[in-house]
Amino acid sequence: MTDRREIPDTPLFDRDVNRQGYALNKFAMSLGRPDNRAAYKADEDAYLARFGLGPATTAAVKARDYAEMVRLGGNLFFILKISAVDPTPITAIGAAQVGMDHDRFLKERLGK
Amino acid sequence: MPQQWMRDHKPDIAVVIFNDHGNSFFLDRVPTFAVGVADSYKPVDEGWGPRAIPDFDGAADLGWHFADRLVERHFDPLICREIEVDHGLQVPMELFCGRPAERWPVKVLPIWVNTIQFPIPTPQRCWDMGVMLREAIESFPGDDRVVIMGTGGLSHQLQGRRAGFLNPAADRDWLATIGPDPDRWRGMNREDYVETFGSEGAELMMWLVMRGAMNREVRTLHTHYHVPASMTGAGCVVMENA
């Protein structure tokens, strides 16, 4: 997008990211259904293959690399559904975004 | 305090302004504003299975009346007849009603605001929708009593290298002034919200729908702030028209 003021270190979910991350977010959205969660858990590769993610995105999902998923157009509200299948605290996902150790993130960013 | 206020005033309908968090709407269709006209709303499965709470009875007649008034006044929402609701509606309802075993004490009129995908609406547009909401409530036949819940987290950011951003000073400023001095918040632009409250903290502008529906002068009865709830500034203000 062009006519918007950039805010440092703050990605906004706009048309470019929508295009880039659509398949990833669609896969993640599908995990809102129990039958899909079961199919995903049963055979991750086969399930991911349905969504045409491309190699980089597939690798990021399989590695549970949430920072990379966001970089590739994932939106946290959708990809959080992956963390429901494979439990990961949202604060750990936050720490990964920053590239910070989880404990340090809790202390420095959240004051915990 | 919020639950005591509900017990004392016994409203019939709760209008809940909130954003879906990628649960009821996907990116295939993104309504800027959506109005519920269903008789009933089930809690949606957000990935862990639907939460064990009762379905919400819908204030369908008020929903349709509101949709009529909006479109007459050149304000064009998506109108939803069958849709589930996520924690954006559930959590404020629990804050105000507790968690009932069988039935919620009020019917709900859900209003969804897109705060996820740009273009999100402007703060001024949220305010304008509140003005329309007031007109609809005042012109709705009958003597139903209505509570309006403007929702949305205070400061938080979940994505990018600024993830974990919190701004307690701005949150406290918001809570102290949304009643007496809402114009300064209404005059800010979307980037101001993102910068001040974080990329997901821009949700806060949804409070302006509620505030725009109220009198110029309000009495603030209760203010509470806690930070962080998970990664989010959490606050509650109870106001009545003065």
Query: pLDDT of B123-133, one tens digit each?
Result: 999 999 999 99
pLDDT at B156 over 80: yes
pLDDT at B174 over 90: yes
Bridge partner residues of B202 (DSSP): none
Residue B216's H or E segment, with its range, is: none
Sign of the Cα pseudo-torsion (B12, B7, B209, A17, in order): negative
Mean pLDDT of chain A: 94
Whole-angstrom distance, CA of residue B103 vs CA of residue B29: 31
What pLDDT, on a 0 to 100 scale, did the predictor assign at position A1? Answer: 44
pLDDT at A111: 94
A17: nearest CA partner in chain B: B117
Provide the pLDDT for residue B129: 98
pLDDT at A64: 97
* Mean of pLDDT values over B203-223: 98
- Tell me the two tokens of residue B7: 């017990």
- The 3-state DSSP class for residue A56 equals helix
- Which chain B residue has the Cα nearest residue A112? B228
Q: What are phi and psi of A3, to 5 degrees?
A: -95, 30
What is the per-residue pLDDT across A60-109, written as a single tens digit (0 to 9) for each?
A: 999 999 999 999 999 999 999 999 899 999 999 999 999 999 999 999 99
Distance between alpha carbon B140 and the CA centroid of its chain, in Å?
20
Residues of chain A found within 8 Å of residue B46, distances taken between Cβ atoms: 32, 81, 84
Helix or strand or coil: residue B102? coil
- What is the rounded distance in angstroms from the CA atom of residue B3 to the CA atom of residue B80? 29
- CB atoms A4 and B191 under 8 Å: yes
Any idea which of A7-11, A24-28, A54-58, B109-113 has the lowest mean pLDDT?
A7-11
Q: How far is CA A71 from CA A18, A46, A68, A97, B147, in A?
A: 12, 24, 5, 9, 41
Residue whose tokens read 């729908």: B209
Query: What's the mean pLDDT in B215-221?
Result: 98
ipTM score: 0.94
One CATH from 3.40.50.20, 1.10.1370.40, 3.60.15.10, 1.10.700.10 for A15-108: 1.10.700.10
Distance CA B205, CA B122 (A): 8
Q: What is the mean pLDDT of residues A13-17?
A: 92
Sort strands B218-229 and B232-241 into parallel, antiparallel or unpaired: antiparallel
> What whole-number distance in Å separates Cα of residue A108 and Cα of residue A99?
13
CB contact under 8 Å between A11 and B160, yes or no, is yes
Catalytic sites of B, residue numbers: 87, 156
Distance, in Å, from the CA atom of A97 to the CA atom of A70, rounded to the nearest integer, reads: 8
Tell me, what's the pLDDT at B37? 98
Question: Which residues on A lie below 8 Å from B157 (Cβ)?
Answer: 10
Chain A residues with beta carbon closer than 8 angstroms to that of B199: 7, 10-12
pLDDT at res. B85? 98
pLDDT for the residue B1? 87
* pLDDT exceeds cutoff 60 at B4: yes
pLDDT tens sequence across B41-56: 999 999 999 999 999 9
Query: For residue A85, which residues of chain B lie inside 8 Å, CB to CB?
Result: 47
Distance, CA of B229 to CA of B91 (rounded, Å) = 13
Which pLDDT does position A3 carry in this prediction? 59
Q: CA angle, A76 as apex, A73 and A78 as ends, to 5°?
A: 90
Interchain CB contact of A85 with B (< 8 Å):
yes
pLDDT score at B80: 98
Q: How far apart are CA A86 and CA A67, in angstroms?
A: 16
> Does residue A7 sit at the B interface (CB-CB below 8 Å)?
yes
Q: For chain B, which domains are there?
A: 2-241 (3.40.830.10)
Nearest to B116 among A4, A13, A31 (CB): A13
Q: Does A97 touch chain B (CB under 8 A)?
A: yes
Give the mean pLDDT of B9-27: 98
| Cα dihedral B31, B34, B38, B41 sign | positive
Q: What is the DSSP letter of B237?
A: E
pLDDT in tens, B68-121: 999 999 999 999 999 999 999 999 999 999 999 999 999 999 999 999 999 999
